[in-house]
Structure 1
Amino acid sequence: MRFLDFNRSAASVRILVEFGRERGLKPAQLLAGSGLKERDLINPNVELNASQELRAVENLIRACPQSGLGLEVGMRYNFASYGFWGLGLLSSATAADALALALRFIPLTFAYCHISSSLDDEWCTVSFDEPELDLAVQRFLVERDVAAAARLIKETFGSRFVLSKFLLKSTSCVDEAMCTAIENEVGVRPQLGARSNSLSFDRRLLSLALPQANPITVAMCEKACEELIERRRVRSDTAERVRQYLAMTPLHAAPDLAQVADWIGISDRTLKRRLQDEGTTFRALTAEVRGGQAKELLADERLSLTDIAERMGFSDLSSFSQAFKRWFGVAPSALRGDARGGDG
């Protein structure tokens, strides 16, 4: 749950949108259902929650259904993408100091994987445990997080650093040219079908002095990171945590109270009681979140009502219309018609 416990900057979604734009996709298409506008992505004061970025990820995956997509996107990230966190790594005295700072403030990154490091007699290994998300989204995020970390490590530690292993559990076919491009960038070729998602290097390199070390800058960055961690920490009640779960659930997946309770770490009965104490129910929250998602999709004139029904996991347009009427008291066609009339 760690990635949902903190808000994040819009920089990562901006990378997704720029990547999509290069492939002829409109920003609105990639931001659909996220509650974000393109102008939000260049506003330094805008912070978003993880579920908003996940919606953009889902939209990109749907629009670009290619293997290795996460790897290609991950290579777009660099130290500047992470603000003070990235600058702190670059300014650390040694590779070991940079790694310690990175793990200490990992919530300030855009990672969805749980990231940890370990040492044995030969290697220092940074591991990436898969987030519990839809499989296609999970695969993209693992690829992206590992690729972004590989590039960041190479960029931070300098030309003398050698990354020895780039392992992914995924067995999906990845374009040969992409693997070559990654090898040229970080010095090692991705190995698929491995037992872990991880990056490894000779542990002796931890003592490597970094070329841009600056004790004043790193102290300033650590202080800024501490303040950001506190500011971005999500302080939410049970209802808000349920909203977050529903918002990050794929549109086609039916919400399930038992799954939400398990994710929060409480029983079904306790979840129902806490929501009741807060003046709401799981059904009401589902209608709120799913209804909001449906209204955002209705605003996209390129999508027919049948397209929206399918995207939201309904068996047919009739089922979607009935659900929409329960949520808003009108048919989706009527709401879309009213919106057009208002624009006129």
Structure 2
Amino acid sequence: MSQLELTRGPASALLLVDFGREKGLAPAQLLAGSGLTLGKLADPYFELSSAQELRLINNLLDLLGHPRGLGYEVGARYHFSTYGLFGYGLISSATAGDALKLALRFLPLTYAFTRIAYHEESSLGVLTFTEPALNDESIRNFVVERDMTAAAVLLKEIADREFSLARFTLKKKRPVNRSVAHADTLLGIRPDYLAGSNSLAFDRALLKRRLPQANSVTVSMCERLCVQLVERRSPKAGTASKVRQYLEINPLGPAPDLATMASLVNLSERTLKRRLQEEGTGYRQLLDQSRSAAALALLGDPALKLTAIAEKLGYSDLSSFSQTFKRWYGVSPRTYRQASRPA
């Protein structure tokens, strides 16, 4: 299930309108062609489509002349209160790590257009942001910048002053113009360009930090209401589609067992197994599909050693990974990598 398929609340669209106003733009200019009005956006129960918010973003970029780095400026305004119940659930979590788990579980309630996933590397926690399938490069760049900045702002508000980025990477080329390149700055750190992914990395030790506003009752209430909200805003997807979505969020590290996945999709283990069987699949099959795809993506990075890839995928040693990879593709990962290299 893509973020583009989901409806969303009005807070993000209102934030974009307010930002445009500060730049001297009239709301009517920004909302042109979107089917949106200020009256609709003032209704907290109103839901708009992703296409409507993208039209608003397109208008903003066109009217301002497509300035570089605008997404960073806009993304800095997405504070926890922008996300409503979801945001309050985050700051009410027991630890920063619990808040991150909650955020990853309810990603559909963010205003992101990128596909966000999390994995761990040694002492670092890493969030990756995959661009949506949009034809307009300017809009793609904007949503990557905005989503990455909004995530960094949330992390900083959750972990307080202790939070800082250890690494910031972008897939795009470094701009030739120095003043343009200067726009690519996030929390005071410049990116590494031509990277394998758009990513933010931070010290995992921060995830152990206990949060000052922790409240288990508030978290439980927010979690229950967030489940209902996701169900309402999501297209009528099957159980297998929901499982794939959660596997995409955490493609690396130890795989969640059936009990964990059942909890994530709010079903009993027995019901989850039955529904997947009715859809012609099973949890092991879906897990293999997710892990095998992640393995191919990692093998495409020549800088990664096979032992590092095995570790990222949650295998205790290279031998175990190689045996599983051979079951998936009929050849060892070493042979596959060699055969995939350009002549």
- Class of the TM-score when normalised by the shorter of the 2 chains: 0.5 to 0.7
Unaligned ranges ≥5, structure 2: 238-343
| 1:54 alignment counterpart | 54
Asked whether the equivalents of residues 157 and 211 of structure 1 are also in contact (C-alpha less than 8 Å), the reply is no
Quote the offset at 1:81 in angstroms.
0.5
- Structure 1 unpaired stretches of 5+: 237-344
Q: Which residue of 2 aligns with 1:341?
A: none
Alpha-carbon deviation of 1:108? 0.6
CA distance in 1, matches of 2:28, 2:218: 38
Distance 2:80 2:97 in 1: 17
- Name the counterpart of 1:234: 235
Deviations 1:227-283 (A, max 9, x none): 1111112349xxxxxxxxxxxxxxxxxxxxxxxxxxxxxxxxxxxxxxxxxxxxxxx
- Name the counterpart of 1:143: 145
Structure 1 partner of 2:307: none
Q: Is the 8 A contact 1:40 1:46 kept in 2?
A: yes
Q: Which amino acid aligns with 2:163?
A: F
**Partner residue of 1:214?**
215
Q: SS at the partner of 1:147?
A: helix
Contact 1:125 1:200 in 2 (8 A): yes
Contact 1:154–1:161, Cα closer than 8 Å, also in 2: yes
Question: What are the equivalent positions in structure 2 for 1:199-210 lying under 5 Å apart?
Answer: 199-210=200-211
- Distance, in Å, in 2 between the alignment partners of 1:232 and 1:34 is 19
Letter matched to residue 158 of structure 1? D
Partner of 1:122: 123
2:86 aligned residue = 85
Residue identity in the other structure for 1:16: L
- % of aligned pairs identical? 48
Is the CA contact (8 Å cut-off) linking 1:74 and 1:148 kept in structure 2?
A: yes
Q: CA deviation at 1:120?
A: 1.8
CA contact (8 A) 2:68 2:183 kept: no
Task: Indicate the RMSD between aligned Cα atoms, in angstroms.
Answer: 1.9
Distance, in Å, in 2 between the alignment partners of 1:154 and 1:129 is 21
Distance 2:165 2:215 in 1: 24
- The residue aligned with 2:63 is 63
Q: Say which SS state the counterpart of residue 213 (structure 1) adopts.
A: coil
Contact (CA 8 Å) 1:124, 1:203: kept in 2 or not? yes
The secondary structure found in structure 2 opposite 1:145 is helix
Change beyond 3 A, Cα 1:156–1:88: same
Contact persistence 1:168–1:190 (CA under 8 A):
no
Aligned 8 A contact 1:158 1:211 in 2: no
Residue identity opposite 1:149 in structure 2: A
SS at match of 2:87: helix
Q: How far 1:14 moved relative to its partner?
A: 0.6
Distance 1:67 1:100 in 2: 32
Amino acid at match of 2:157: E
Amino acid at match of 1:137: I
TM-score, length of structure 2 as denominator length? 0.64
**2-structure distance, mates of 1:190, 1:33:** 36
> Which protein has the larger Cα radius of gyration, Structure 1 or Structure 2?
1
Is contact 1:72–1:178 with CA below 8 Å preserved after alignment? no
